[in-house]
Structures are given as structure tokens and as C-alpha cells.
Structure 1
Amino acid sequence: MNCATAATALASPLPSPTSLLSLNSSDVVEVKPNQNGYKWRLVLAYDGTRYSGWQYQESPPTVQCAVEKALIQTTKLQRKDLQLVGASRTDAGVHAWGQVAHFFTPFNYENLDRIHAALNGLLPSDIRLREISPASAEFHARFSVKSKIYHYKIYSDTVMDPFQRHFAYHNMYKLNIAAMRDAAKYFIGKQNFSAFENASHNDRVTDPVKHIFRFDVKEMGALLQLEVEGSGFLYRQVRNMVALLLQVGKEAIPPDIVPHILASRDRRELAKYSFYLPPHGLCLVSIDYNESHLLPPPDCPAKSFGMHYTIRKCKVVFY
């Protein structure tokens, strides 16, 4: 491509999702003969307000359903061929900034910018594809995870900020932040978190021993942000830990109640002191992976963070 052609391409308006579905022969290259084909990693952000979580379900809207629908339209493959897998089964109403998933295609792409734009053109506005990249055979969105970071936001004031209502829990009590920080320290380390796990709706057997690397309580004006990083989390574990810290902050219970509940390994023991915390304050912020699994495979395109467009300048003749 010469300079004049490149300049014209950069000046072109954003193509419509429909036009992006008709990929040129230069976009899709060789067919890989093995069973799975080429693997691709997605980094997704979404507002979970109107979704029944990430995991695929037949009837309620889920994030995975929306992503699969867009992938089927762009790749012309079926759901069973794509084999889309998410890193975290976020619950109904939970948000994400750094959800990760992977899928397969039998063909390779020469450039990922077009499919990136096509997917965002087809996805609903409350789901965005932030990044798409080739993935190695060793990479797995769920099993290659080293740690996950979740944030839970609490808005502490007498009047709720209407712009925070979908992303923060409203608390009208004065909180003892120092006591909450003291209590959060008890969660750090490798421990059995059975007492903080809700009964799951699926048959998956999970290991109750998790490693919490840090649990920070940060004040940002009226907004309180609780940040927890761990090797993994049980069903509703983060919300249950935050709910207990809120009770400590209200000075309803002392910080050293945490090791007592942990030692019990009994969800009923937690229920004596804590309460239900809604999902909308929770956000999956980022996921850390085994670095060796993130190495790009050979003969694959560079990752795409989205396309930038420029407007061709008009040449005005002055008299």
C-alpha cells in the first residue's frame, strides 16, 4: 500500500457493522487443519445491570449470550464451534471492566481491527470489547488465571448520588473506616472460606481454600472503594466479605469477629452477624495470568485495541 492509498484509508468514515461482516480475502487467511484451530483472547467491559450474569442461559439475557450472538454473526460459525469460555461467572447485576474470555476459529486473521470494530458494532451499548488478541494453545481464560481483582463501591452519605445508583451501594450510616481496615486484614492469606460461600445453582465442586493477596479499603470523598485481590473466589464470597466489613464499620460487631467466622467454616455462622448485599456495587476489574500463557503464537496478527479514524482536511482556496 502506497502513501496515497494509506491516507485515503485513514480518512475513510467508520464502516457499518453490516459492511464489516463481509470480510475481505486479505482479512482471513489459511485454514488450520487441527481440531480446535486458532484461539483468540477477548477483554470485555460491561454494565451488568440488565443481565443475569455472564454465564450462558437459554432464556434470561446474559453477557455470554450477547457476545456469542455477535461472534456468530461475524465469524459465520456456530456456538459449538466457537467454544466461548469466560474467566469469571459474574453474578446477575455485577459489572466488569476486565472480564476475559477466549474462543476458537478454524481460520486465522491477518488483521484484528476489522473484527474488533465489527463486534462492537453488533454488541449492545452496555457491552464493549476492549481488546482482542491471538492466544497460545496453553492459554485458558479460566484455568490460566493467577489472580483476580474485584472492587465493591459504597456511597456513604445521607442522599444517594443518582449517577452512582447503578454502580455503588447506598449506605446512610457513619462508618468506622479504621475498624473496617483492621477487619479486612484477617482475610489476607491462604484460608478456607467455606463460611463466606453461598450455595451455588450449578453442580460445580469448588475448592474452598483461596489465597487473598490484599484487601484495601479506600476513601474517595463520599465513595468508599473496597479492593480485594485473590487467587480466586467462591460464589458470592466478595459480597459476603464486604457485608461483614460494613457491619464492622457500623460498629455493630468488632473486627476480630472475622477469624471466628472463618474458623467455623459454616455459612450459618456468618448469617448471625451479616446481611444480604446487592450485586450492583461489585465490579470485576482485572485478571492476572501466567505470563508464559500470554505469549503470542507465531504467524498471528498483533492484538487490537480498536481503530482510530481521522478526517480528511478540506483544501479551501482563498482569494
Structure 2
Amino acid sequence: MMTYAAAAALVAPFPSPSPSSTSLLSLNSAVDVVEVQPNQDSVYKWRLVLAYDGTRYAGWQYQESPPTVQCAVEKALIQTTKLPRKDLQLVGASRTDAGVHAWGQVAHFVTPFNYENLDRVHMALNGLLPSDIRVRETSPASAEFHARFSVKSKIYHYKIYSDTIMDPFQRRFAYHNMYKLNTAAMREAAKYFVGKHDFTSFENASHNDRVPDPVKHIFRFDVKEMGALLQLEVEGSGFLYRQVRNMVALLLQIGKEAIPPDIVPYILASRDRKELAKYSFYLPPHGLCLVSINYNESHLLPPPDCPAKSFGMHHTIRKCKVVYY
């Protein structure tokens, strides 16, 4: 079995499978997935696009307890591939926080074998996953592709429902605001975030050992009104821990006209999280959704001798054979 270190070192084109050896793997007694056994030195990388309702999960990142999205996906992959967790090396593009949702989370994993068809793999994974997590797309990935390090930009949406009475169908995916908001002031303030800035003031203390670069590039920050629903859309090269929620929380205070729009550059320049805390407040995670992730186009090119990507299998109704009288 090939180690991940050796797999990561491979930058050659996608290896060609050996046509002389095939095997049939039965998955959950429901679907058969044909895998082609390659040479011992081969490694294959696969990309997943995932959507999930983050309500009952402690975020994406793997933890022993409580449950996380990565845990659920790994469990399905282990059952599908019959490989141990350490060999799959599942990596997610974004470590979404507890309660945060996703429509376009991206992850990759590796196997020592190739597949002839990804539709059945796709079906098997969704058959094993809980109903609040879905694989939207399964595709082969080049050796150069990395779910996290190949990212060019990420797009997040935060939804705010502004009305005296909360829409019960929005309660799990939008923050309820009962104040009248000055959206023009919010748009003016959002423009100050656009560009390359040090966002130290908007980062919460993180529990991991990584020391992230506080300088991020925000490409756009739009405030869109859709009736009672206000959708804040932000695209950036990357984000610090809870940065998006902290930016939105400040814009909400500006929308309530508690503080002026030009306070944004002042707080950015302070590079002090305590300065933001004087004007802002805690914003819950359920209004936030990771919508999509953009990558270097060269890293998305399909490798040779690989199966076509899968968007899921469509079922058809066969012609009814019942005789009508």
C-alpha cells in the first residue's frame, strides 16, 4: 500500500491502469463498483464537491467527538473503497465552523486503484452518507490538484432575515434581525473591505497550531436585498477564523445606524480584535454558507486514462407493460 508521503511526491501525469487485472467490489450489497488494479507504484486522486446542512455538526474538521462532516464522509469512503482512513488522506478546502453550511465544499482523497465509472461510486457514497450531507460531484483529479492549496478564491454568503416575525422555513439558514436596516450604509461600509488588508482585527482566537497570514485579498463584498431576506456575498483569497461572521456583524451594526460606515478602515488599521469588540457582537453560524470555491484552471484539467466526472445518475421510468381495458 502506498504511503501518502509517496503519493504527494508524485507529480507525473495520471498513471495508466493495467488492463490485465480487474476486480469487482461489492458495496453495501447495493451497488457494484468496478475498480481497475494498477501497478504497485500508482496513485489516483479524486475530487468531491459536497453540500451539507451543518446544523448538527461540529464543523468540517475531523474530531473523535462530537460528529463532524469530515468524519461522516470518511466513514462512507472507508466502506466504499475498503481503505483505512490514513490511506485515503481526505483533505477539505475549508474548515467550516460548527453550524456553518456548505453548497460547494471541495475535498480530495487518494486510492491505489483506478475506477472505470464514477457514477456508481457517486451513488454508493450518497447511499452511505446521512441525508444532510450530499456529494454533488465526483471527478478524477490531477496529481497537482490540492483541495486546499490550489484555491484561488472562496465565496461565502451570510443570510439575514429582516422582519418582525421570522420565517420558520428560513430559521436554520438565516439570522433573524428585527431592526430596520440602512442597506445603503452597509454597502458603503462593505466597500472598505474590498482589496488587500491585514484582517487581524476580524480574527477570533483559533484552537489549531497554524499561524495564518492575516493579509487577505477581498475581491468583492455585495449586499443584496431579496424581499425580507438580505444576502451578504463575500469573495476572497482566503479568510481567517470567523472573519466573515465578524465582518457581517460589524455591517449589521452599521445597518442599524449605531456606528458610521467609515469605522471600518479605523478598525482594520488598529489590527486589534479588542477594538472590533467595542462596536460589534457575536453572530451565530447558521446564517453562513460556503457557496463555491474557485481553483487554478490548470489544476482542474482531467488526467489521461480516467473516467468521466459524475454529477449523479438519473433514473428513467420504463414503459408500462400493464394492459389497459
State the TM-score, normalizing by the size of structure 1: 0.92
Aligned equivalents of 1:312, 1:163: Cα separation in 2: 36
CA, structure 1 residues 90+299, in 2 after alignment: closer, same or farther (shift >3 Å)? Answer: same
Aligned equivalents of 2:215, 2:163: Cα separation in 1: 36
Aligned equivalents of 1:311, 1:88: Cα separation in 2: 39
Amino acid across the alignment from 2:125 = L
Shift of 1:30: 2.7
Shift of 1:312: 1.5
1:6 paired residue number: none
2:174 paired residue number: 168
Equivalent residues of 2:154, 2:236 under 8 A apart? yes
Equivalent residues of 2:224, 2:230 under 8 A apart? yes
1:199 and 2:209 aligned? no
1:110 and 2:116 aligned? yes
Alignment of 1:226-265 (within 5 A): 226-265=232-271
Aligned equivalents of 2:178, 2:124: Cα separation in 1: 44
1:19 paired residue number: 29
Alpha-carbon displacement from aligned partner over 1:285-304 (angstroms, at most 9, x marks no partner)? 00000000000000000000
2:186 paired residue number: 180
Shift of 1:18: 2.3
Within the candidate set 258, 261, 286, 2:292 is matched to: 286
Alpha-carbon displacement from aligned partner over 1:56-84 (angstroms, at most 9, x marks no partner)? 00111000000000000010000000000
CA, structure 1 residues 32+64, in 2 after alignment: closer, same or farther (shift >3 Å)? Answer: farther
Shift of 1:314: 2.0
Aligned equivalents of 2:184, 2:240: Cα separation in 1: 26
Aligned equivalents of 1:62, 1:85: Cα separation in 2: 13
Unaligned runs of 5+ in 2: 1-25
Amino acid across the alignment from 1:72 = I
Within the candidate set 294, 302, 305, 1:299 is matched to: 305
1:33 and 2:40 aligned? yes
Aligned equivalents of 2:207, 2:39: Cα separation in 1: 38
Shift of 1:34: 2.5
Aligned equivalents of 1:65, 1:30: Cα separation in 2: 27
1:128 and 2:141 aligned? no
Equivalent residues of 1:134, 1:301 under 8 A apart? yes
Aligned equivalents of 1:318, 1:106: Cα separation in 2: 54
Shift of 1:20: 3.8
Alpha-carbon displacement from aligned partner over 1:234-274 (angstroms, at most 9, x marks no partner)? 00000000000000000000000000000000000000000
State the TM-score, normalizing by the size of structure 2: 0.90
Shift of 1:19: 2.7
Within the candidate set 65, 88, 96, 2:94 is matched to: 88
1:72 and 2:78 aligned? yes
Alpha-carbon displacement from aligned partner over 1:113-143 (angstroms, at most 9, x marks no partner)? 0010000000000000000000000000000
Identity among equivalent pairs (%):
87
Aligned equivalents of 1:317, 1:96: Cα separation in 2: 48
Aligned equivalents of 2:194, 2:44: Cα separation in 1: 39
1:150 paired residue number: 156
1:50 and 2:56 aligned? yes
Amino acid across the alignment from 1:33 = Q
CA, structure 1 residues 142+318, in 2 after alignment: closer, same or farther (shift >3 Å)? Answer: closer
CA, structure 1 residues 103+28, in 2 after alignment: closer, same or farther (shift >3 Å)? Answer: same
1:219 paired residue number: 225
CA RMSD of aligned residues (A): 1.3
Secondary structure of 2:47 counterpart = strand
Equivalent residues of 2:27, 2:80 under 8 A apart? no
Equivalent residues of 2:32, 2:120 under 8 A apart? no
